[in-house]
Amino acid sequence: MVGSKTLYSIEDQCRRIKAVREVADQSSIPLFINARTDLFLKTDPRGHSEKHMKEALVRASAYAESGASGFFAPGLIDGNYIERLCNHSPLPVNILVKSGAPATRQLVKMGVARISYGPGPYRQMISTLKEQGREALLQKQI
If one counts every other C-beta atom within 10 angstroms of the C-beta of residue 78, the result is 18
- Give 2's pLDDT tier (boundaries 50, 70, 90): low
Query: Of the ranges 6-15, 66-75, 82-91, which one carries the lowest mean pLDDT score?
Result: 6-15
Distance between CA atoms of residues 39 and 13, nearest Å: 13
* Predicted model pTM: 0.84
Distance between CA atoms of residues 119 and 58, nearest Å: 28
Distance between CA atoms of residues 8 and 25, nearest Å: 24
CA angle 58, 100, 68 (to 5 degrees): 30
More confident residue, 130 or 118: 130
**Residue type for 126, please?**
I
Between the two ends of the chain, the Cα-to-Cα distance in Å is 50
**Residue type for 98, please?**
K
Range among 16-20, 37-41, 117-121 with highest mean pLDDT value = 16-20
Q: Which domains occur in the chain, in start order?
A: 10-141 (3.20.20.60)
Which run of H or of E encompasses 120? helix 120-141
